[in-house]
A and B are shown apart, each in its own frame.
Chain A
Amino acid sequence: MIFIKTPEEVNVMRKANLIVRDTLLMVRDRIKAGVTTAEVDRWVKEYIESKGAQPSCLGYGGYPASTCISIDDVVVHGIPSPKKYIEEGQIVGVDLCAYIDGYHGDSARTFMIGKVSEEKKRLVETAEAAFFEGIEGITSASRLGDISGRIQAFVEARGYSVVRALTGHGIGREMHEDPAVPNYGVVGRGLRLHHGMTIAVEPMINLGKYDVYTERDGWTVRTKDHSPSAHYENTVVVWDDGVEILTM
C-alpha cells in the first residue's frame, strides 16, 4: 500500500531527512584512507544519536550496523568491519537512514577517496547526474516510469548499466514502503505519482554488466563481474508543481 503524506506529515519528515543530510556531510568531511569502515559506522551512529534520532538500519531485518558501506565492486549493503580499511583510490558508498518523530529519512553518497581513476570518477558523477536527470520535470502528473526510464536511458547512454535486482522505494513511517522505484523502465508507463508521495530515488549503476550477487553474509551485494559500482540516493517528495529533495 502506498501511503500519501499530508504537507504536515512531510514537515515532520523533514527533521529525519535533515539529520541524514547532515550526517552524510559529516562523513564527507572525515572519511579518508586509513580509517576502517567500522569507524565510519561509529561516527554515523554517534552523530545520529546526538541529534536525538535512531539509525534506522541498525537491526533492520537483522542488519548488524547503522550504516551500509560499500567499497568499489560492492553495490550496496556492505557491512562495516574493523578489519576493512578504506584505501586511496577507492570509491566508497555510504548509505544511511535516521528515524525520529515517527518518520524515516534515507540518503546515500559515493565518496571518492583521494585520487581515483578517471573511469571511477566518471561513474560516480554519472550516478549523481542520473538522479537529477530522473527527477527533472517530475510532478504529480508524471508516472513512475518517467523517473525510471530517464535514469536508465541517461546511464546507458554513458555506457554503464543500471542494477535490476535492487530498486528505490517509498519511505515514511516505514523505511521501506511501496512503491518500488526501479532505475529502469519506460517513460510514460507505470504508476501515476501523487501529490505528497515520498520516495527514495537511488540510481545504482555499474561500470560493467548489471548482474549482481549477494554474498554468504546475506547482505553484501557485489557486481558479478567485479566491476566498480556507484550509488546516489535522496528522499524526495512529489508535489503538484515539482519534486522537493528532503535530504539536501
Chain B
Amino acid sequence: MQKEVFVGSIVYSKAGRDVGKCYIIVRFDDKGYAYVANGTDKKLAAPKRKNVKHLESSGDVNETIGEKLLADKQVFDSEIKSALRAYSDK
C-alpha cells in the first residue's frame, strides 16, 4: 500500500538515476508532482521534480520544516541536510 506523502514528508526515490536517495518534499505542483530537496545537491532554490509514484515514504514527516514550508517561512538547506542525516545513514 502506498503511504500518503505531505509537504515535510521524508521520502526515498525508487525510480530514476537517484534511486535510494533521501529527500524531503518541499511542495507539490498542480499536476501532482512533488518537488524534493536534500540540502546538498538538490537545494531549496532548485528542488527536483519527481512523480509521486516514484517516491517511497519513510513514514516520517518533519513537522517543523513542513509547517515552515506551508506557512511560507524561510527554510534553510543546512536545516534540511541536518534533518535528513539520520535517514541517509540508513
Distance in angstroms from B67 CB to nearest chain A CB is 10
Which of B64, B74, B82 meets A243, CB within 8 Å? Answer: B82
In this complex, what residue of A is CB-closest to B77? Answer: A136
Give B63-87 as 1s and 0s: 1 = Cβ < 8 Å from A's Cβ atoms: 0100000000010111101110100
Which of B64, B74, B76, B83 meets A136, CB within 8 Å? Answer: B76
| A248, B79: Cβ atoms closer than 8 Å | yes
Report A11-26 residues with CB < 8 Å from chain B CB: 25
| B85, A132: Cβ atoms closer than 8 Å | no
Q: Which residues of chain B are near A243, meaning CB under 8 Å?
A: 78, 82
In this complex, what residue of B is CB-closest to A129? Answer: B74
Which of A25, A129, A137, A242 meets B82, CB within 8 Å? Answer: A242
A243 to B82, CA, bound (A): 7
Q: Which residues of chain B are near A245, meaning CB under 8 Å?
A: 78-79, 82-83
Which of A125, A137, A244 meets B74, CB within 8 Å? Answer: A125
Distance in angstroms from B17 CB to nearest chain A CB is 22
Distance in angstroms from A68 CB to nearest chain B CB is 22
Which of B64, B76, B77, B82 meets A244, CB within 8 Å? Answer: B82
A137 to B77, CA, bound (A): 10
Distance in angstroms from A111 CB to nearest chain B CB is 13
Distance in angstroms from A64 CB to nearest chain B CB is 31
Q: Which residues of chain B are near A244, meaning CB under 8 Å?
A: 82, 85
Q: Which residues of chain B are near A236, meaning CB under 8 Å?
A: 82
With A244-B85, A248-B83 known as contacts, the answer to whether A135 contacts B74 (CB < 8 A) is: no
Distance in angstroms from B73 CB to nearest chain A CB is 8
Give A234-245 as 1s and 0s: 1 = Cβ < 8 Å from B's Cβ atoms: 001001001111
In this complex, what residue of B is CB-closest to A135? Answer: B78
Give A109-135 as 1s and 0s: 1 = Cβ < 8 Å from B's Cβ atoms: 000000000000000010011001001
Report A206-248 residues with CB < 8 Å from chain B CB: 236, 239, 242-245, 248
